[in-house]
Structure 1
Amino acid sequence: MTRQDLSEQQKSERSSELRSYVIGYVLALILTLTPFAIVAWSDLTPVTQWSVIGACALIQVVVHFRFFLHVSLARQKREDLHLILFTTLILVIMVGGTLWIILNLYTRMMPSMLPW
């Protein structure tokens, strides 16, 4: 199918999707370069730097969901959002449980080496 064979609606959808990808790419690039710039050239405290890096990471997750995976709060897309939230919950439970077990074993086996 060539570009001339596309209807006006298909051309509109294609340009809208391309615009979405370009906006997402620019936002993702900004959200990636910002933490690098802050760490390299800023005199902020480490806690502030970590906070900015974490905020940029969370915003970038939202940008990827919205602009690249096309997950939105629209009615027909809610099932996708529920699937992603459930997957996130399972990952948080697995990672949190693993860290809990490892730190508990660490405190039981090597209490003299605890940093606190």
Structure 2
Amino acid sequence: MEHHSKYPIGHVIGFLLSIVFTIAALYVALYTNLSRSIIIWTIGLFAFIQAGVQLFMFMHVKEGENGKVNVGNMVYSIIIAIVVVYGTIWVMHF
């Protein structure tokens, strides 16, 4: 039987990381002289990382008896979404 602490340190760390990624995205958007496309890609990268932090810190994806299966299903879903989006863009472009 696992011992759970009454103080949710994982939630606090997840919250602080989410704030850091939000502030980093805001800084890149407002205070850098990067091109617009690089800014958009950087904000998207920060958003993707922040979504991962929230899945693992708040939603406890790896916990339970199907932890590895849940992670595998998420990776598979992301791959399918990327193929569908870029496949659609490719078909519409050509």
User: TM-score per shorter chain, which class?
Assistant: 0.7 to 0.9
Unaligned runs of 5+ in 2: none
Q: Are residues 1:102 and 2:92 paired?
A: yes
State the match for 2:42 in structure 1: 52
Structure label with greater radius of gyration: 1
- The structure in which a higher percent of residues are helix is 1
Summarize deviations over 1:25-58 as a string: whole Å, max 9, x none: 111111112111222123x321553453243223
Amino acid at match of 2:34: T
Amino acid at match of 1:45: L
CA distance in 2, matches of 1:73, 1:89: 22
Among all aligned residue pairs of Structure 1 and Structure 2, give the percentage whose two residues are the same amino acid. 22
Unaligned runs of 5+ in 1: 1-8, 105-116
Q: How high is the TM-score relative to the length of structure 1?
A: 0.61
The total of aligned residue pairs comes to 91
CA RMSD of aligned residues (A): 2.7
Range moving further from structure 2, 52-61 or 73-82? 73-82
CA distance in 2, matches of 1:45, 1:76: 42
